[in-house]
A and B are shown apart, each in its own frame.
Chain A
């Protein structure tokens, strides 16, 4: 029963990632795509947590922290690129 509920939760997360991929393909502006990619990262974190509960292990929790940090840095860099045109500015 518990395993079945975990599989249902994983399927819901996969459908959510599919919806985000639709927005990445179709999104009219670049900001839409960046937002959808950030959302994909968050959903992958949730999927790893559910999967490690499903496998009764604690070996994947470094990955949760790592993907969280990488997703935030990627979104911040893309936002700065969209706003200013450069990611790292030069000193004048």
Chain B
């Protein structure tokens, strides 16, 4: 039994550290990338996966060491997993429609072409 609790302790510590490192890397991406769309790509994906890893680690810790099955935490995991990419999408769409320019080295802009086609059809 002591071996199993030791192993699960290591698994929980690994999950929490992995999540923290992912959040840190996504923040580095948020600082270093050149453009709002690239920054939103880094921030949304990295921070979401990081917080999912950390919340799963906390859920396992509560289940194995305190004997609490926290449905609230499961609900939080599902909610963050659904809403965080949606928030990133809304923000990127608002940035494009309010005219934030792309990075000057980006080579293709299909959305601009489709928007122009839509406008000329009306």
The interface residues of chain B, by DSSP majority, are classed as helix
State whether B76 touches A83 (Cβ < 8 A). no
Bound together, the chains give a CA A69 to CA B98 distance in angstroms of 25
Q: Residue among B12, B16, B57, B65 with the most chain A CB within 10 A?
A: B16
Bound together, the chains give a CA A14 to CA B24 distance in angstroms of 9
State whether B31 touches A76 (Cβ < 8 A). no
A residues 76-92 near B (Cβ < 8 Å) are 76, 78-80, 82-83
Total interface residues on A, CB under 8 Å, equals 50
Expressed in whole angstroms, the minimum distance between the Cβ of A41 and any Cβ of chain B is 9
Which A residues are CB-close (under 8 A) to B54? Answer: 9, 46, 49-50
State whether A64 touches B76 (Cβ < 8 A). yes
State whether B72 touches A75 (Cβ < 8 A). no
Chain A contact residues, CB within 8 Å of chain B: 2, 5-6, 8-10, 12-13, 15-20, 22-23, 29-32, 34-36, 38-39, 42-43, 45-46, 49-50, 52-53, 56, 58, 61-62, 64-65, 68-69, 71-72, 75-76, 78-80, 82-83
